[in-house]
Amino acid sequence: MTDETPLVHTVVKVGGGLLGTAGAFQLVIEALTAFRRGRRLAVLPGGGPFAEAVRQMFKRIKIGEDAAHWMAVLGMDQYAHALAARLPDAALVDGDGGIAAALQANRLPVLAPYRWLRAADPLPHSWEVTSDSIAAWLAGQLRARRVVLLKPAHAGAKKLVDGYFLRTLPHGVEHLIVTADDLGQLDVALREDPPPGEHTRGRLGGRGGRGRRRAG
């Protein structure tokens, strides 16, 4: 590894929507466990039901977008705890130092992002911003070369990424989507050399639709 080689090659966002599909979460855990060996990964949780609860509160009691933003990011922290509890050899971390330490110890870093995001505050406090955009921002911070978004099988084509994702994704960083019904493609998506070919299912060629949930 040279000085130009990033510590993290791929940021993997595990969508919270997987929790709403029977068996999908377990399949993703098994696939990540099977395919992560020898790969430089950092796992970022989505928001899923935790963020959806914030969305409902936002509508019912008008808490405002600033409060909703940080509450939804805290929901990502909750999901991070669940992922770290289920993924073998995972390490729950809250910043780049923890990610580096986990990888050096041959563990899989799972980021609880609230502390880092609160200090940096890099993204708009808007429903247009979800954990997709946070994954794109994280890739830039880590100098990662790829973002892989794990999504439920039923995700519609117009809802695959939020409306801020491509504006946040650093130039030259690859982005791919793998759905829960096609997890064999995760092995391809995580390969570091050579990069996935154009045949890889889920490669995005255009702008995604507007996100409906913050940190979803």
Q: What domains can you pick out in the chain, each with its CATH number?
A: 10-189 (3.40.1160.10)
Among 41, 42, 46, 25, residue whose Cα is nearest residue 183: 25
Angle in degrees, 0-180, between the axes of helices 65-86 and 131-142, rounded to the nearest 10: 70
Assign 39 to helix, strand or coil. Answer: coil
How confident is the model at residue 195, as a pLDDT?
Answer: 52
pLDDT above 90: residue 191: yes
| Spatial separation of the C-alpha atoms in residues 177 and 150, rounded to whole Å | 6
How confident is the model over 107-157, as pLDDT tens digits? 999 999 999 999 999 999 998 899 999 999 999 999 999 999 999 987 655
How confident is the model at residue 102, as a pLDDT?
Answer: 98
For the entire predicted model, the pTM comes to: 0.87
Q: What is the average pLDDT value for the chain, to the nearest integer?
A: 87
pLDDT above 90: residue 198: no
- Identify the sign of the CA torsion 143, 104, 106, 85: negative
Lowest mean pLDDT among 49-58, 78-87, 201-210: 201-210
| Spatial separation of the C-alpha atoms in residues 102 and 119, rounded to whole Å | 21
Residue 154: partners with Cβ closer than 8 Å, 6 or more residues away: 21
How confident is the model over 42-62, as pLDDT tens digits? 999 999 889 889 989 988 998
DSSP letter at 210 equals P
How confident is the model at residue 3, as a pLDDT?
Answer: 52
